Amino acid sequence: MKLLKLPPKIFQRITAAYIAKVGLYEVFGHQPIKVYVRRLSNKILQNWLVVFLERSANGLFGAKDILPALIPKTVAGCMLFRNAGCARMAEPVERLVNYANVLVFTEVTGKTSSKDQVWYTRRVAEAVANHCSMAYNLVTKASPKFLSQLEKDKDDALFLSKAVATAEVDLVSKMLDQNAPMWSATQSFTLAIQIASRSDTGILRLLLNHRQARNSKAPESLRSDIIYKSVREKCISRSGRVAIRLVEWLKKNLGHQNHRQLRGWMVASRNTLMEKTVVVKYLLDMGFLFRLASLCRRDFFLHYWLDAKIWLRLFLEQDILNVEDTYKVRYDRSQETSLLRYAVIYCCVESVEVVLEAGTKPDGLQIGDRAEYSIRLAIVGPDSKTVQLLLGFGADTEGGNDPDMCSTLDLIPQGRAFGPEGYISEILLQ
C-alpha cells in the first residue's frame, strides 16, 4: 500500500506552485553535473520538494482538496493517539495520517508548538515527495515556466546537458534553436552526448544532426574524442544499438577512426556481459576488417575474454583467425601453438567445440618436427568433457606415443579431469 494516495492533478498543482515559488533554475541549475550522469535527477526534485513544503507550510495547508486524501481519521482521534504515546508502534501509513491530522489541527487552532509543527511538516513533506514516481516528469512538462527559465540562463552549455537529462525532445530542440554551444571544450557537452546516449536515441539524433554539429568550428579531434568516449561507454553498458548510431555519425562526418579508438571499443566490448560482438561485428562490416584484424588477433591471445567461444566464432567467420595457422600466446611467447591447442589449454569445452566444428584436425597441427596431439593435454587438463569431445571428432588415442615418453593411455592416472581411478579408460579403449 502506498503511503499517500494523491491524485496526479493535485500533485501537479503542488509542483507548479513549487516551480513558481522557487524557480526552475534553483532546482536544477545549482546541482553538480555528476548528479545527472548518475541519474539522480528524480532524487533532486524530491529533496527540493521537501525543502519547499517544509519552508512554505501554507502551500500544503492551503490545498484543501489534498486533505481528504491524507486524512481518513478525525483530528481528535489523531491527537488522542499521539498523546497516548503509541505513534512509534503504529504502521507507517497510520503514522502519516496522524502527522497530517496534526497539521490540520495546527492550521485550525495553532496550539501545537513550533518545534512539533516543523517535525510534522517534514514527515508529510517527505511522504508527498516520495509518493509520486512521476514527479520529475511533471516538473519538466511545465513547459511555459520551464522554457522561460531556460531563456534566462546564462550558462547555455551546462544547461543543455541538464535539459538533455530531462529527456524532453521539444525542450532540447528549443535550446539548440537558441544557439546553445553544441561542441564545447568544457565537460558540458561531452556529458550532454553521454546522457542522451544512455537512453533516448531521439535526443541523441537531434544533437548529432543539428546544423552546428555538422558545421562546427570545434576541432575534429575534440568532436571525435567526445563520440569515442560515448561509444566506449555504450559498449560497456551493453547498448550496442546506440553505440552503432554514434559510430555511423562519426564515420560520416569525421572519417575513419584511429587505432586507439578501435582498440578502446573492442576492449570495452570484450569485457561486457551481453551483446559482446554487436559493435565489433558492425565495425568489421563497415570496412574496418583490415585495421581490426591484427588488433583482434593480438588481444585474443594476450588477454582473457569473457565467453571466448562467441569471439572465436566471430573471428573464424571473418577469417581473422584460421584453424590452420599458428599463434604466439600470452603465457609462452617463445613457442607458437595452434588454435585447437590454445582452446584446450586456456578455454572452455565450448571453445574447443567451435574450433573443431571449423574444420581443424582433432589431433592438432604438425609444427615443425613437433606434433601437438591435443588429447594428451586434455587428459591432464581439468575437464573430462574436452577428452570426450576430441574422441567424438576422431582424435587418435595412439597419437604422440613415443618410446621415450609415456603413452597417451598412461597419462590417465595423472589427469586432473579423471582422478587417480582412471575411470575414463573404458571410453578411450572403446
Q: Please report the pLDDT score of residue 89 as a whole number.
A: 30
Q: Is residue 73 part of a domain?
A: yes
Whole-number mean pLDDT of the chain? Answer: 60
Does residue 357 surpass a pLDDT of 80?
yes
Place of cell 555519425: 249
The model's pTM: 0.52
Q: 307 pLDDT band (50/70/90 cuts)?
A: confident
Q: Is residue 428 part of a domain?
A: yes
Distant-in-sequence contacts of 51-57, Cβ < 8 A, 24+ apart: 52/18, 52/21, 52/22, 52/125, 53/14, 53/18, 53/121, 53/124, 53/125, 53/128, 53/129, 54/118, 54/121, 54/122, 54/125, 56/21, 57/103, 57/117, 57/121
Q: Which of 108, 143, 178 is the last residue of a domain?
A: 143
Give first-to-last CA distance, the chain, whole Å. 66
Q: Please report the pLDDT score of residue 150 as a whole number.
A: 42
Q: Is residue 175 part of a domain?
A: no
Q: Enumerate residues 6+ apart whose C-beta is below 8 A from 372.
A: 337, 338, 340, 341, 363, 364, 365, 366
The CATH number linked to 354 is 1.25.40.20
What letter would DSSP give residue 380? T
Q: Is residue 315 part of a domain?
A: no
Structural domain boundaries, residue 371: 322-430
Q: Which of 143, 171, 201 is the last residue of a domain?
A: 143
What share of the chain has pLDDT > 70, as a percent?
A: 34
Does residue 137 surpass a pLDDT of 50?
no
Q: Is residue 426 part of a domain?
A: yes
Q: Which of 102, 126, 143 is the last residue of a domain?
A: 143
Q: Is residue 329 part of a domain?
A: yes
Instruction: Give the number of domains in the chain.
Output: 2
Q: Which residues pair with 370 in a beta bridge?
A: 367
Q: Is residue 48 part of a domain?
A: yes
CB atoms within 10 A of CB 88: 6
Does residue 99 surpass a pLDDT of 80?
no
Q: Is residue 206 part of a domain?
A: no
Q: Please report the pLDDT score of residue 294 as a whole number.
A: 80
